[in-house]
Amino acid sequence: MRKLRKRKAVAALTLAAVMALSACSGNGGNGGSNGDGSGNADNAGNKGASATDAANGNNAGSTKEPLAISMALMAGPKTPDSWAEKTLESELSAKLQREVDVKPVFLPDWSELNTKINLLMSAKDTRPNILWTGDTKEFSKWVDAGIVQDVTPALQQHGQEIINYYTKETLFYHWDSSGKMYRIPGDVPEASYMTTILRKDWLDKLGLQEPKTLDEYVAVLRAFTNEDPDGNGKKDTYGLSGDNYYRSLTPFFYAYGIDVENFIKQEDGTVKFGSVMPEVKTVLELLQTLYKEGVIDPRMSTAANSDDEKVNDVFASGKVGSFYRFVDYFNPGNTAAVSFKKLNPDGEYISIDPVAGPSGFASDQPDPGIGWCYLVITDTTDVNGAVQVLNTMATPETFKLFTFGKEGEHYEMKDGVFTPTITPDEGNKLGLGNFGWYVQRKDAANIKNTEEVTAMFESKIETSKPMRDKIVVFKALNRPEWDKYSADIKKVRDELFWSIITGKKPVSAFDDFVKQYEKLGGKQIDEEAAGLFEKQQQEYVQYEAWYEENIEPFK
C-alpha cells in the first residue's frame, strides 16, 4: 500500500524514529504441535490451555529445557549484545519458566536483503529459527521444500495473544489454501493511518467552516491561497501540499471512489485497474485547474519531493493550509508537529473527516490489512517454543519493554503523554527497536500515541471502510503478468498524470493513456486480476470455515 511505499520504508535508526512505529507472506510443517515432526495437534478442539499456562510452557509436549532461539532482525539500530536483547531474554525466561537464549541474526540493508535471506535459507545449518522477511517469490519454494512449518497447532495452544491481536481478515492473507498457516504477520499498519489535515486558525481567521464536501474543500483551499491567511500582506501560501505520491491527492480521487494504484470492484462484480477508470479524467481536470491557480504547491509535482523529511519541513513552515498526511502528526512529540509549533506558536492543525464527492461518497485511504512483512518458523526449531516466544513478545507489557525501555528510567508518562528521558543515540545503544516488526502492536500498547491519537486511529476503521470495500487486495504472491507489465504501465501513467496536472499536456491525453494501457500489457494484467479475484473469493469461503474451526475456539 499502505500504498505502501510507506510500508517499505527504511528502518529507523534513532530512538525518535523507533518510537514512531511507522511505518511486517505448501507442504512443509515439519514440526507439529508436539515438536516431533508428526504434525498432530493433541489439544485441537478443546479450546487449548489457558493463556497463562501457554505463556508458562505448561502445555502437553512442552519442556523446561533451555531454549536457544535465533531470530533474523531487520528493524532498529541492530545493536549486538544490547540491553534490549538481555531484557527480552530475562522476560522470556521468567514467563516461559525455562532459560531462553536469544540469538539475533541482523539482516543487511535493503539493497542486499533478499540475497542475504536466500543465502541463510539455503542450508539447514544457516537457517535462523525465526525468519523475518518481506514479500518474496522464494516463499512458495520454502513451503514446497518443507523448510517452513505450519504454525496452526502451536497458535492454538500457545498463541492466544497473537490470534486475538490480528483480525480475521489479516490472517486470511497469511493463510494457505491447503488449510495451514506457514507465516505470521509481522507489522500490519493501522486500518488507516492518514487523514485530511487543515489549518484551524486559518479557517477561523477567514470565517470559514470545516468543509464536508469536495466543493467546500476546494473553496477552502482557494481561500487559503488567495486571502492572505497568515496576515503578512504577501501571496505566499498554498492551499495544498504533500509528497509526490498519489496518496497526497487522496481527498480528490477518493471523493469519486477511485484509487489509481489499485484494482477497484465494479458494480457488475468485475474488477478494473483504477488508473483507467473514467472518473480519473474528471479529477485530473480539477487538479490541473487548481495547479494553474497556484492552489497546489508546485513542489508536489517533483520526484524530489518524495522524501518525508522534506514534506515535514514544508508542514513545519506554516505556509500550507492542508495536507493528506499521517495521523501521527497529532502526537505532541512528532518532530514535524514540534517544529511547526516553534515556528508558528499560534498555529493549529486539525483532522477532519473525508470530504464527500458529487454522489456523496467519502472515504479515508485504507491500509490493505495485510502484513508488509512476516515471520516464518523454519525446520530448525521446535514450533511450539518459537510460537511461545513470539506470543510473549506480542504481549503489551513485553512489547512496550523492548520497544520503549523501562518507565521512569528511559521514558516518562505524564497526563497520557509519552516523553523519552534518553537521547536517540542512547536508545540506539540500548538496542531499542532491534526487535521491531516482530508482531508490532498498533493499539494502546503503542504508548507513544496519546489517547487522542489512539482514538483517531480507531475512528479511521470506519472512515476508511467505504474504499476498503471497493479496493481489491490480492492475496497471491505470484502475479506474473503484473510483474511483467506493471512497471512500464506505471511509468507511462505517472509521467502523463503529472504532465496533465501541471498543464504540460491537455486533459484529453488521458484518453490516449486508456488506449495505450491495453497495448502495454493491460489486457493480460486485467485477465490475470479477474482470475485471481475469483479464486480469492472462493478461497475466502473455505477460509471462513477453517477459521471458525481452527482459530475462533482457541482465542
DSSP per-residue codes, 368-421: -SS-SEEEEEBTTS-HHHHHHHHHHHHSHHHHHHHHH--BTTTEEEETTEEEES
Q: What is the pLDDT of residue 63?
A: 54
Tell me, yes or no, whether 453 lies in a domain: no
134 and 184 belong to one structural domain = yes
Q: Answer whether 382's CB lies under 8 Å from 36's CB.
A: no
Read off the pLDDT of residues 431-459 as tens digits, 9 standing for 90 and up: 999 999 999 999 999 999 999 999 999 99
Tell me, yes or no, whether 201 lies in a domain: yes
Q: What is the pLDDT of residue 478?
A: 87
Q: What is the pLDDT of residue 11?
A: 35
199 and 185 belong to one structural domain = no
The residue out of 442, 464, 493 marking a domain boundary is 442
Q: Count the alpha carbons within 13 Å of 90 in the hemisphere toward its beta carbon.
A: 8
323 and 380 belong to one structural domain = no
257 and 178 belong to one structural domain = no
Residues 6+ apart with CB under 8 A from 79: 428, 429, 430, 431, 434
Q: What is the CATH number of the domain that holds 205?
A: 3.40.190.10
Angle at 449 between CA 447 and CA 452, to 5 degrees: 125
Residue identified by cell 516523553 is 419
Q: CA–CA separation, 388 vs 159, rounded Å?
A: 7
Q: How far is CA 391 from the centre of its chain?
A: 20
Tell me, yes or no, whether 165 lies in a domain: yes
What's the structural domain count of the chain? 2
Q: What is the pLDDT of residue 336?
A: 94
149 and 222 belong to one structural domain = no
Tell me, yes or no, whether 337 lies in a domain: yes
Q: CA–CA separation, 321 vs 220, rounded Å?
A: 9
Q: Which of 431, 340, 408 is nearest to 80 (CA)?
A: 431
Q: Answer whether 30's CB lies under 8 Å from 36's CB.
A: no
148 and 225 belong to one structural domain = no
Residue 334: helix, strand or coil by DSSP?
coil
The pTM of this model reads: 0.83
389 and 427 belong to one structural domain = yes
185 and 77 belong to one structural domain = yes
199 and 170 belong to one structural domain = no
Residue 272, Cβ neighbours under 10 Å: how many? 17
Tell me, yes or no, whether 331 lies in a domain: yes
Provide the domain limits for residue 496: 194-365+479-537
Q: Answer whether 202's CB lies under 8 Å from 348's CB.
A: no
Its sign, for the CA torsion 194, 364, 438, 27, is negative
Q: What is the pLDDT of residue 333?
A: 86
326 and 259 belong to one structural domain = yes
Angle at 415 between CA 414 and CA 417, to 5 degrees: 65
Q: What's the Cα-to-Cα distance from 192 to each of 169, 189, 196, 548, rounded to whole Å? A: 15, 7, 12, 26
Residues 6+ apart with CB under 8 A from 417: 332, 333, 450
Q: CA–CA separation, 1 vs 247, rounded Å?
A: 10
Tell me, yes or no, whether 10 lies in a domain: no
Residue 35: helix, strand or coil by DSSP?
coil
207 and 351 belong to one structural domain = yes
**Residues in the chain with pLDDT values less than 50:** 1-62
Tell me, yes or no, whether 241 lies in a domain: yes
Q: Give the three cell numbers for residue 415.
A: 497526563
Read off the pLDDT of residues 381-427 as tens digits, 9 standing for 90 and up: 999 999 999 999 999 999 999 999 999 999 999 988 999 999 999 99
Q: What is the pLDDT of residue 47?
A: 36
Q: CA–CA separation, 332 vs 340, rounded Å?
A: 11
354 and 499 belong to one structural domain = yes
